[in-house]
Amino acid sequence: MNNTNQDLFNQAKIHIAGGVNSPVRAFAGVGGVPVFISRAKGSKIYDTNGGEYVDYVGSWGPMILGHSHPHIIEAVKKAADDGLSFGAPTPFETTIADKICELIPSIDMIRMTSSGTEATMSAIRLARGYTGRDKIVKFEGCYHGHSDSLLVKAGSGMLDIGEPTSKGIPIDFAKHTITLPYNNKQALIDCFEKFSNELACVIVEPIAGNMNMIIPSQEFHDTLRKLCSDTGTVLIFDEVMTGFRVNLGGAQACFGITPDLTTFGKIIGAGLPVGAFGGKKEIMSHIAPLGGVYQAGTLSGNPLAMRAGIAMFDLLTQDGFYEKLSTKVQYLTHNLEKLAKEAGIGFTTTQLGGMFGMYFTDNGLPQNFDDVNKCDTKKFAKFFHGMLKRGVYFAPSAFEVGFMSSEHSQEDLDFTLAMAKQVFTEMAQA
Ligand SMILES: *Cc1c(COP(=O)(O)O)cnc(C)c1O
């Protein structure tokens, strides 16, 4: 007899803080007990009791080829046979750097890290070192990993110094971070008017995927690019989530914007721990050993991760990959909206490439963090648990997005919709 999830969670909580190694996994946003996973294949994950779920989390983005893709697994097995880590350069690092620079024209040079957090943290240090300025700008509802400068929200006045969103972050650190409302052109103009030549960088999720999903206006991006250029402020696109997820050129290709630096993670490691930051040669040349900005990593450019990433690019660059992926996403979101409408439930969606957002609201598509916060999280929790019970695994939070993989079949999508129809009906009757 297998242990239940409750047993496993209780055991985990003895020696792991909160029973999880990353907070969102604890299901705090939806209540209940997390599902413990034993293995995954293609579009499905399997729990320790043999339960099967169509998975729309995909390890929070990396599994764009589905789980345990044979081409990736083969690359990782071969790499493992050759040794796990050397702490010395390998040609595989050059191959993946060449590949990313070829696919993303704004990137002349890149450096690999072991997580998205390290990538954004390093990009910010680089921007500060390059400009000789301290202040940085971020946006409400965007997430850039858990480094000190970035766990900051707006202060009481819009252009005041920030306040830490986590204990353990000195106010003195937070005061260098300005937080603006997302997708708001006037707030940008006001901020640059006040601080014009004091800003080291602006870091932005070019399409937000950590406050559910928001695609900002072209005008927002055009204004941001112009203000940064005019003031010598480094524009950092955090594409840890959107990179190779919305299309092959990232969100920057969608908006036709050339950022100064870009950060990556998630997909580029195909499920192994990886991040990267890169951009203009003029800026990247300030990193040690070329320049005076220190950045390093014992396992950075790890051969397993690099070879997994290279194998993944083989498949992502095949003709029509993203068209097929986004057709599936559109089929799912369009039909979910239709079913919700039939059941009389206020529900809307947005999507691009292989990611999508779902909102329980009667007020149309959210455009910023305030709008997202007005959505009905209780309804989301009901939907989430209704779907989970029926074998569909969405992210356990109303503030996260959904991810499609190339391995999701028409049958998976239709199964998901059939279950959603039941759940929406149940919700409408409650
Ligand atoms: C996931 C994420 C990060 C952090 O990456 P980790 O690998 O979890 O450290 C940073 N920025 C964005 C936009 C992300 O989605």
Amino acid 5: pLDDT: 94
Dihedral of the CA atoms 181, 25, 380, 48 (nearest 10)?
Answer: 160
Tens of pLDDT, residue by residue over 302-338, are 999 999 999 999 999 999 999 999 999 999 999 999 9
Backbone angles phi, psi at 287, to 5 degrees: -85, 145
Antiparallel, parallel or unpaired: β 348-352 and 275-279: unpaired
Whether the model pTM is above 0.85: yes
Can you spell out the DSSP letters for 204-272? E-SSB-SSS-B---HHHHHHHHHHHHHHTPEEEEE-TTTBTTTBTTHHHHHHT---SEEEE-GGGGBTB
Q: What atom in ligand 1 is closest to the CA of residue 118? A: 9
Query: Which domains does the chain possess?
Result: 5-68+320-429 (3.90.1150.10), 70-317 (3.40.640.10)
Amino acid 160: pLDDT: 67
Of the chain, the end-to-end C-alpha distance in Å amounts to 35
Most distant pair of Cα atoms in the chain: their distance: 66
Number of other residues whose CB lies within 10 A of the CB of residue 217: 13
Q: What atom in ligand 1 is closest to the CA of residue 205? A: 13
C-alpha 217 – ligand 1 centre gap (Å): 22
pLDDT in tens, the chain (430 residues): 457 999 999 999 999 999 999 999 999 999 999 999 999 999 999 999 999 999 999 999 999 999 999 999 999 999 999 999 999 999 999 999 999 999 999 999 999 999 999 999 999 999 999 999 999 999 999 999 999 989 988 776 656 677 888 999 998 888 999 999 999 999 999 999 999 899 999 999 999 999 999 999 999 999 999 999 999 999 999 999 999 999 999 999 999 999 999 999 999 999 999 999 999 999 999 999 999 999 999 999 999 999 999 999 999 999 999 999 999 999 999 999 999 999 999 999 999 999 999 999 999 999 999 999 999 999 999 999 999 999 999 999 999 999 999 999 999 999 999 999 999 999 999 8
Q: HSE, CB side, 13 Å, CA atoms: give it for residue 322.
A: 17
Q: Could you give the C-alpha distances from 91 to 2, 59, 75, 98, 307, in angstroms and in order?
A: 45, 28, 15, 11, 10
Please report which residue ranges of 232-320 form alpha helices under DSSP H: 250-255, 281-284, 303-316
Please report which residue ranges of 16-106 form alpha helices under DSSP H: 70-81, 91-103
Amino acid 156: pLDDT: 65
CA 181 to CA 274: how far, in whole Å? 29
Tens of pLDDT, residue by residue over 372-421, are 999 999 999 999 999 999 999 999 999 999 999 999 999 999 999 999 99
289 preceded by a cis bond (ω within 30 of 0): yes
Closest alpha carbon to 181 in 207, 152, 162, 158: 158
Q: Which of 59, 112, 120, 400 to mutate to test the pocket of ligand 1 (most atoms within 8 A of CB)?
A: 120
User: Which residues is 430 bridged to in the sheet?
Assistant: none
CA 420 to CA 428: how far, in whole Å? 12
Amino acid 1: pLDDT: 45
Antiparallel, parallel or unpaired: β 234-238 and 199-204: parallel
Q: In the structure encoding, which two tokens stand for residue 397, read together?
A: 């939070």
User: Which residues is 152 bridged to in the sheet?
Assistant: 164
Backbone φ/ψ region at 19: left (φ over 0), alpha (ψ -120 to 50), beta: left
CA 430 to CA 428: how far, in whole Å? 6
Q: In the structure encoding, which two tokens stand for residue 41, read together?
A: 């294949």
Ligand 1, residues at Cβ distance < 6 Å: 115-117, 120, 143-145, 205, 209-210, 238, 240-241, 265, 275
C-alpha 359 – ligand 1 centre gap (Å): 22
Number of other residues whose CB lies within 10 A of the CB of residue 165: 13
CA 415 to CA 403: how far, in whole Å? 16
Output the residue whose Cα is nearest ligand 1's atom 15: 241
Residue 375 contacts residue 27 (beta carbons within 8 Å): no
CA 143 to CA 387: how far, in whole Å? 26
Backbone angles phi, psi at 297, to 5 degrees: -175, 120
* Stretch (H or E) spanning 422: helix 410-429
Amino acid 430: pLDDT: 82
Q: Which of 118, 147, 266, 302 to mutate to test the pocket of ligand 1 (most atoms within 8 A of CB)?
A: 266
